[in-house]
Structure 1
Amino acid sequence: MKILIVGAGAIGGYFGGRLLEMEANVTFLVREKRQKQLKEHGLVVTSIHGDLHVSDPQTIVSGSHPEPYDVILVSTKSYHLDGAIESIRPYVGDKTMILPLLNGIAHLDALSEAFGSKKVIGGLCFIETTLDENGKVIQTSPVQDLIFGERNGERSERILQLQATFEGTKANFRLSEKIEQEMWQKYLFITPLSGITSLFRSPIGPIRDQAQGADTLKRLLHETVEIMTAIGAPLSEGAMDATWNRLNDIGDGMKSSLQRDMEKSLPTEGDHLFGFLLKKAADLQIAAPTLSAVYANVDIYDKMLHS
């Protein structure tokens, strides 16, 4: 299968590199600066699972070499989604599958509106990677999971073909028959985690250890579950208790990626993660004061960043 990966950053670069390691047909859709960097230095990945170096990986810039791809993997930040949609238009054919790895759920509607829901499959990933100043992809923890599937759970011919394409890599590619549920479950976890750590500008440990901090975290989780349940999210039975246990099991030093973005004076995905849920809550007249405070915090930050 011909695979187009939008960007060669921390996520796309990692999974693309693992696919190239087994000689998959991978092309990166990148900006000219990144294209030059990759031509000069290659794609370099440092990982506990084995370092890799792909000299001069195949790259294109938006608009060049228009032809359809079998799979387009989108792992941009949500605030770059509109640009990503326009950049991939020349590469979407009748049989193209679009595999998004964004956090949250709102991007499914945006991609479906642009290309039709049939072309958009479900996806998510769990990985901690970063891009250094030289463009090297550095994996900072052992987790490297990419989960995908038809949104209706069908084991279709095309999804089984994609599964076969992904087999044999050093990363964990997994086909799910409940991909939308898994996407919502991740959304349920990262909403309170990213919300509380960004609100208090602290890793999770000190927040859990402080009485009012722990109470705020619990209220944020309750509000998130209430909203998601009201809009019909396919959460598993016992999802709230399982998420609460997970929030208490993660290491004290854990920071969310949204919090790290704020520490680096980068834009956040506040609208995509928190704003989306608050709009749904407003439509259903559900009070969500804790989530509102979380959103206000990142929204004020983002506006000050651009002022």
Structure 2
Amino acid sequence: MNICILGAGALGCAIGATLSEAGHETWLLNRSAAHVEAMNRQGLEVHDERGQRQVAVKASTRATEIGEVDLVVVLVKSFHTAEAIASAKALIGPQTLVLSLQNGLGHEDILADAVGRERVLAGKTYVGGVLLGPGRIRAGVTGKHTYIGELDGQLSERVQAIAEVFNGAGLATTVSANIMGTMWDKLLVNVATGALTGITRLTYGQLYSEPLLKSTSLAAVAEAIAVARAAGIELSLNDPESAWNLAAEGLPAAFKTSMLQSLEKGSVTEIDFINGSVVRWGQRHGVATPVNATLHACMKGIERAMADHQQEEA
């Protein structure tokens, strides 16, 4: 299969390297010239449970260099979705499918507006990746599951074919007849800790030792569960305590959420697609979400202060 990873950062490179090693023509598309040049010059340096190795990959900063592909796997930050897909139109041919494995909710609608809803597939992945430097990643693929599916829940041949490709490459992939439920399950885990750690700047060890913060987390997750039920979403996680516990499962006390990591790097966060999505869906279905609205507003205030500070220093 001819595949392009749109947004080949740490996670995109982890998935792309796995597919490349399995013999699929896989392009890694990233805006960073230094990252792309390093990969094209010496291969992608991968550190994982197998040790360290160089993986020969194809990388580019321009979609026009790649041309039409069978599958576009979207892994850009959610707030870059519209810009990224608009600049990647050269990848889209008559039969091209677009699979989002991004965090949060709402990006699938942005992609549908750009390329047509009939092309869009959605999913969630628990594969991990950390960028160590240009052309260098730490990857966690073994034992990490990915779930993909049609937006309408059909068990189509095309989504089954993608799952076969992923599984054959070593990416443990399951086709879901309830991908929206799967996405909401993952959203509940993000709602449990993301905004709270961004606002407080606490690691997981610190967060999980503060009873007041746990109470706030459970209230936010309870709102999200109520919204999902009102929307007719079938959840696997139906108890706020389960989402709170699952968020920290297997992670060290020093762990920092992606929300906190983004702020520490001076970047905006995916808050609009996480707690912000809960608020929007709540408004749509008549469910009050005051805790999520407050967390969302506080994070937007932090982003504003950060942006103003960066502008003053420029």
Q: TM-score, normalised by structure 2?
A: 0.87
Q: Are 2:4 and 1:4 aligned?
A: yes
Deviation, 1:243, is 2.2
Classify 1:49/1:105 alpha carbon distance in 2 versus 1 (closer, same or farther; 3 Å): farther
Shift in Å, 1:165: 1.8
Aligned to 1:110: 110
Q: Cα distance, 1:265 vs. partner?
A: 2.2
Change (3 A) 1:175 1:279: closer
Looking at structure 2, the residues matched to 93 and 37 of structure 1 have their Cα atoms a distance apart, in angstroms, of: 29
User: How big is the shift at 1:245?
Assistant: 4.2
Name the count of aligned residue pairs: 306
**What SS does the aligned partner of 2:87 have?**
helix
**Where does residue 236 of structure 1 map in the other structure?**
236
Counting only pairs closer than 5 Å after superposition, residues 52-201 of structure 1 correspond to structure 2 as 52-55=53-56, 57-65=57-65, 67-139=67-139, 144-201=144-201
Instruction: Report if the CA contact (8 A) 2:14-2:141 is conserved.
Output: no
Structure 1 stretches lacking a partner, 5+ long: none
- Residues 261-285 of structure 1: per-residue CA shift (max 9 Å, x gap): 2222222111121222223334555
Q: 1:140-176 CA distances to partner (integer Å, 9 max, x unpaired)?
A: 6965332212223333222222222223323323332
Partner of 1:38: 39
Cα distance, 1:126 vs structure 2: 0.9
How far 1:252 sits from its partner (Å)? 6.1
For the residues of structure 2 that align with 1:135 and 1:299, how far apart are their CA atoms? 32
Distance 1:145 1:105 in 2: 19
Contact 1:194 1:257 in 2 (8 A): yes
* Partner residue, 1:293: 294
Q: Please say which of residues 13-22 and 137-146 is displaced more in the overlay.
A: 137-146
Secondary structure, aligned partner of 1:96? strand
User: For the structure 1 residues 266 and 66, does the alpha-carbon distance in structure 2 shift closer, same or farther, using more than 3 Å as the test?
Assistant: closer
Shift in alpha-carbon separation, 1:142–1:296, aligned structure 2, 3 A:
farther
Q: Quick one: structure 1 residues 273 and 248, their matched pair in 2 at CA, closer, same or farther if it must change by over 3 Å?
A: closer
Structure 2: tracts of 5 or more residues without a match: 309-314
Is the 8 Å Cα contact of residues 63 and 87 (structure 2) preserved in structure 1?
yes
Q: What per-residue deviation string (whole Å, max 9, x for no partner) do you get for residues 61-92 of structure 1?
A: 33424632111001010121122111221111
TM-score by length of 1: 0.89
Aligned partner of residue 96 in structure 2, secondary structure: strand
Residue of structure 2 in register with 1:275 after alignment: 276
Cα drift, residue 237 of structure 1: 6.9
Tell which deviates more after alignment, 296-305 or 7-16.
296-305
Amino acid at match of 1:116: G
**Do residues 202 (structure 1) and 221 (structure 2) align?**
no
Query: 1:188-247, CA deviations, whole angstroms, 9 ceiling, x for partnerless residues?
Result: 111122122223221234333333222212212212222232333332373545324424
Q: Which amino acid is 1:180 matched to?
A: M
Q: Deviations over 1:84-134 (max 9, x none)?
A: 111221111221111111111201111111111110011111133211233
> Root-mean-square deviation (CA), in Å?
2.4
Report the AA paired with residue 37 of structure 1. A
Seq. identity, %: 25
